[in-house]
């Protein structure tokens, strides 16, 4: 299983707008991805309610994971999005 550990780059954490940006990016990645707090249970990264339910704060470590084909590239892009607090999914890493 491919995995990326990153710190949330959005100061407000994964709440409201940042969560919406992340969920849209996870859906657009084309691979099933899970997200979890460092020691927490993974949830579906494409679910707005699940992502909001994590309560991930700015600077907190999260874990992105997937075992699907193409997961490495998708996780790289999502990790960059989260770590840098970007407003949209980067096209390339």
Residues noted as catalytic: 15
- Name residue, tokens 């995995």: 3
* Calculated CA dihedral for residues 5, 16, 32, 68, nearest 10 degrees: -30
Burial of residue 83, with CB atoms counted within 10 A of its CB: 0-12 exposed, 13-18 middle, 19 or more buried: middle
């Amino acid at each position: 299983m491919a995995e990326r550990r990153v710190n949330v780059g959005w100061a407000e954490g994964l709440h409201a707008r940042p969560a919406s940006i992340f969920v849209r990016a996870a859906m657009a990645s084309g691979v099933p991805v899970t997200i979890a707090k460092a020691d927490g249970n993974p949830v579906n990264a494409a679910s707005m309610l699940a992502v909001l339910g994590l309560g991930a704060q700015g600077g907190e470590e999260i874990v992105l994971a997937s075992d699907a084909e193409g997961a490495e590239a998708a996780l790289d892009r999502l990790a960059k999005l989260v770590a840098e607090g970007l407003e949209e999914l980067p096209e390339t890493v």
